[in-house]
Amino acid sequence: MAEPSTIAARRGRDLRVVGLVVTVLLVAGGGYLLDRWINDSGEPGLKAHVDQKRKEEIDIRFKQGVIMLHAKEYEHAMTAFSRVLDLAPGMPEAHANMGFAMLGQKRYREALDFFDRATEINRNQLNAYFGMAEAQEGLGNYRGALEAMEAWLHRAKPDDPFRRRAEAGVWEWRDKLARDAKPAAK
């Protein structure tokens, strides 16, 4: 009786090579079909499912962050907004709210960066100007605080519930700047 390797040699083919070729073809073909399914814009497939899940997570994390801000749980709010910004870096509301979380931690410079980014994305992101003013005040830059709050007042509606607070801040910062500009009496 002949050895099994002798039989394969007589046939002229090694079954391992055939198996390898078939495996490669199946993997490549399956990959191609999966790619077509994910990227086919005409049909809802996996990509649409992934996009929907992404939007749902953004919505959930954003709402969690807002709740944490109101509860003054700034670290938790920052975690939630960080995830939102990972998923939607162009969302100005997330930048502004991350800024407010930083304000709660008295991290004024970082807060200012988030407020600036929010207004770069959307120059009418009103709460970012308000936060910018508070961050500038925290840094001791009353001129910057005044300018940011005046920008807010210029864009805000006359009946905005924060208008009185904004006007009080403007008055306070103008007074502070005027007092600092007067020479000290001897």
pLDDT digits (tens, 9 = 90+) for 38-97: 565 555 567 788 889 999 999 999 999 999 999 999 999 999 999 999 999 999 999 999
Report the distance separating Cα 159 and Cα 137, nearest Å. Answer: 24
Identify the band that residue 11 occupies on the pLDDT scale cut at 50, 70 and 90.
Answer: low
Report the distance separating Cα 40 and Cα 59, nearest Å. Answer: 26
Q: Tell whether 111 is covered by a domain.
A: yes
Q: Tell whether 34 is covered by a domain.
A: no
Q: Tell whether 5 is covered by a domain.
A: no
Q: Tell whether 29 is covered by a domain.
A: no
In angstroms, how far is CA 100 from the centroid of its own chain? 14
First vs last C-alpha separation in the chain: 120
Q: Residue 67 corresponds to which tokens in the numbers above? A: 């709740």
| Number of domain units in the chain | 1
Give the CA dihedral 140, 75, 86, 57, nearest 10 degrees: -130
Owning domain of residue 156 = 48-181
Q: Tell whether 103 is covered by a domain.
A: yes
pTM over 0.85: no
Amino acid identity of residue 164, one-letter, is R
- pLDDT value for 184: 61
CATH assignment at residue 74 = 1.25.40.10
Of residues 36 and 131, the one with the higher pLDDT is: 131
Q: Tell whether 115 is covered by a domain.
A: yes
Whose CA is closest to 152, among 139, 138, 136, 140?
A: 136
Q: Tell whether 10 is covered by a domain.
A: no
Q: Tell whether 1 is covered by a domain.
A: no
